Structures are given as structure tokens and as C-alpha cells.
Amino acid sequence: MATVPIGPIHPVLKEPLRIKLVLDGEKPVDAEIEMGYVHRGIERIMEGKHCHKGIYLSERVCGICSYVHTMTFAECIENISKIEIPDKAKYLRVVTCELERIHSHLIASAVYNLAIEHETLAMWLLNAREIIMDLMEMITGNRVNMGYNVIGGVRRDINREMMDEIYKKLDIFEEEIKNIIEVFETGPLIALRSKGIAVLPYHKIMRTRAVGPVCRGSGLPESDWRLRHPTYQELKFKPVWREEGDNFARMMVRHEEIFESIRLIREALEHYEECSGDVRVRAEIKGGKGEWRNEAPRGEVTYKMEITDGGIIKRIMIRTPTVMNLEAYKYMLKTCPTVADALSAYTSIDPCVSCTERSIVAIKDGKEIPLNFGVML
């Protein structure tokens, strides 16, 4: 047995962490994952602050899926305080959330293709992503940290010209992405490096509690939390899933979800056109405890918090999807023939390190001892 360290800085890693691969010859058999290189203790920073500052901080939990964090934060407080937001805001949240899902899936696919040395396809995907980024900027004013969600609705409305532009660019994007995904589906190199590699069987899903496309790629469609969200239920959302459980299945779930996201955006805009009134209400924040879950691009994201009357955050806990998917990664290694396949398997779960690292406080002799390393709750 030998151990091969990968990271914290490595070409295949988007963010720093260390993977200690245990090898039997050249075949990976186990892995130990070390984190803590980008720990920020963001939940502890939120405590004692007003929720208007908290929502600003929540957008900094993750750089790629920042929008769904503010949406989940706002909906958690709206649920605690029994705030009913306007219908317009509900549909605009779906539109922007699904645009973010598309751009996140395109990045995940591009990174995976780079890991299996298909640079051309990766560049095509990133080029197509720019259409989506332009739409997000047009609607919210920003490309990444959008600052669009507020407690009680969204910050700004859209007009007829913007809606026409969304429809027009979605048509262009849909045609372009169909051709790109066809290359992925039919490419012999991609099949060689993806099919039958890093298989995560259905029965292992229940043990690892994997979420998101990792889970749905192994035959568990009900893991998608959009099935439980009232607005998505109204839009008749249908989850995408496959049964193979390998790298190819996980990537194809993301690709097929892109088309479901496009359908949801169009459906939400049709419902939006039937609405009238404002896009936000004046929110009266009441104290209490509660939690809310949404389906982020990588899987279930949970916000659990306690607030005071007026909106001061007493305690908050955020759980992001990568913590569960990293545990699933260890099971995938059993069907990885080489170290190179172990790296492509890692990228197939679309990990986000910065939003996974959490803070805890240890109590010793009645005193709090902050721990300055990544701990995942």
C-alpha cells in the first residue's frame, strides 16, 4: 500500500484541499480528505448581526451558487415570520435560481472535461455560459454576488424588453448547448474515461447520504428538494435522474437538468406575466426558530436559525451539499482503475470547498474554545 498526496494546490482542484489517496499498486482503494485551507467561520460572524447583514453574508458562502443561499436565507426568515411575498417575486426567484443552476452545471461540466483532458469541449461550455451570465446581469445587475433577494421579495422588477431578451437568448443558448451535449454523449474518449468509472450503487447512496446530481445519477429522483418547494410544485417540476451511478451518469444528469431549468424559466415567466403589483413587501420580522431547504446546483442546502423580534440572528447553521458528497467519493474509488480516474471522479461530484468548511466551538471547563479548522456539521 502506498499513499499519494494530491493538493492542496493541484491543476484539477478548483479550491484548495488535500486528498491522500491510498493505492494498491496503481489502483486507488481509499482516500483521506483534509480540509481547512479556506475556513472562514461565516456562521459565527453572522451571530449577533441583523438579518439584513446576514443575507449579505450568506451570499458570500459560495461564489458559484451564491443566489440560492440568499434565497434560502430569505425564505427561512419568511417562514419563521409568516411573511407572504408577492407572486411576482416567487416567479422571479425561480427564474434567477434556475439561471444560476445552468451556469453552475456548465462550470461543473467544463471542469470535468478538463480533468479528462477534453479541453475543447470545456471551452465550448464556458463560452455558452456567457449567454446565461449576461441574462443574470441584466435581471439582477451583477454576474456573481447579485444582491437580488431581500426578506419580503426581490430587489427589482423586470420589464417587457427584458422578458423578450430572456426568451431570445434562451432559444439561442438551447440550440447551442444541444450540440455541445451531443458531443459529450457520443465522444469515444469521454465514454472511455466516464462510463463504468467511479460507480456509486443505489444501495451505497443511503449509507453516504449523497445529494444532488450525485444522488440522482444513482437512481434516487426524490432527493431533489424542488419537488417540495411550493412554487416549483405549481410549475410542475420533474426531476432528472439516471441509474448507472458512474461519472457519465452524474454529468448527464447535470446536462439534462439544464433543459428542465430552461423549461422552468419559460413557465415561470408565463406565470409572471399574469401577475400584477410589486415585487416586495415591507417585512415585519418576528422572533422564532425555523429551518428551510432548497435544491442548490450541487444538492440540498439547509439553513437553520433562531432570530429575535426585529431580526437579530441568535444562532444559525448552514449545511451545504458537498459534505455528504465527499463521503460518497470514497465509495466511488472502488471502481477507479487509476489515479487519473480518481481525480476525474472527484470533479464529477462538483465539490465546493469554501462553502463546505464550517465552524464549531468546543467547550472545555465551561469556556468556549474556537477551532480554526474546517469542521462540517
Q: What is the pLDDT of residues 10-60, one digit of tens each?
A: 887 888 888 899 998 889 988 888 887 887 788 889 999 999 999 999 999
pLDDT exceeds 70 at position 377: no
Q: How far is 190 from 219, CA to CA, in rounded Å?
A: 21
38 vs 15: CA distance, rounded Å: 8
pLDDT number for residue 5: 87
Q: What is the pLDDT of residue 369?
A: 57
- Is 83 annotated to bind ligand? no
State yes or no: 97 annotated in a binding site: no
CB 184 within 8 A of CB 255: yes
- Residue 348 is which amino acid? S
* Confidence band, pLDDT 50/70/90 cuts, at residue 363: low
Q: Are 85 and 279 in contact (CB under 8 A)?
A: no
The partner residues of 18 in beta bridges, in order of sequence, read: 34
Contacts 24+ apart (CB under 8 A), 281-284: 281/83, 281/84, 281/85, 281/86, 281/152, 281/153, 282/152, 283/77, 283/78, 283/81, 283/83, 283/150, 283/151, 283/152, 284/81, 284/83
Considering the domain boundaries, does residue 25 fall inside one? no
Confidence of residue 371 (pLDDT cuts 50, 70, 90): very low
Residue 241, in any domain of the structure? yes
Q: Does 94 reside within a domain?
A: yes
User: What whole-number distance in Å separates Cα of residue 200 and Cα of residue 375?
Assistant: 25
Q: Report yes or no on 6 lying in a domain.
A: no
Q: What is the pLDDT of residue 356?
A: 80
* Domain of 158, in residue numbers: 38-375
Higher pLDDT, 186 or 354: 186
On whether 352 is known to bind a ligand per the annotation, the reply is yes
H-only helix segments in the chain:
42-46, 51-58, 66-81, 87-115, 119-140, 160-186, 188-194, 202-208, 212-216, 230-234, 247-273, 322-332, 339-348
Which three three-digit cell numbers place residue 114?
478538463
Please tell me the predicted confidence (pLDDT) of residue 373: 34
- Predicted pLDDT of residue 368: 60
Residue type present at position 284: E
The answer to the question of residue 17 being in a domain is no
pLDDT digits (tens, 9 = 90+) for 101-144: 999 999 999 999 999 999 999 999 999 999 999 999 999 999 98
Q: Distance between CA atoms of 233 and 253, rounded to whole angstroms?
A: 20
Residues 294-329 have pLDDT tens digits of 999 999 999 999 999 989 999 999 989 988 898 889
Structural domains counted in the chain: 1
Section 141-163 average pLDDT = 94
Query: Does residue 291 form part of some domain?
Result: yes
Predicted local confidence at residue 312, as pLDDT = 95
| Domain contains 1 | no
Q: What pLDDT was estimated at residue 297? A: 95
336 labeled binding residue: no
User: Is 65 labelled a binding residue?
Assistant: yes
What does the pLDDT read at residue 215? 94
What confidence tier does 374 reach under pLDDT thresholds 50, 70, 90? very low
Residue 231's nearest CA partner among 292, 305, 141, 311 is 292
Cβ–Cβ under 8 Å, residues 68 and 301: yes
What rounded mean pLDDT belongs to the chain? Answer: 90
Strand order from edge to edge, sheet including 313-319: 288-296, 299-307, 313-319
Whole-number percent of the chain with pLDDT over 70: 95
Q: Quick one: pLDDT at residue 299?
A: 93
Among candidate residues 282, 317, 322, 323, the one with its CA nearest the CA of residue 303: 317
Q: Which of 155-164, 170-179, 320-329, 360-369 has the lowest mean pLDDT?
A: 360-369
Look up residue 267 and give its amino acid.
Answer: E
% of the chain exceeding 90 in pLDDT: 71
Question: What CA–CA distance (Å, rounded) separates 306 from 370?
Answer: 21
Known binder of ligand: residue 76?
A: no
Is residue 128 assigned to a domain? yes
Question: Is residue 76 pLDDT above 60, yes or no?
Answer: yes
CATH number reported for the structural domain that contains residue 279 in this entry: 1.10.645.10
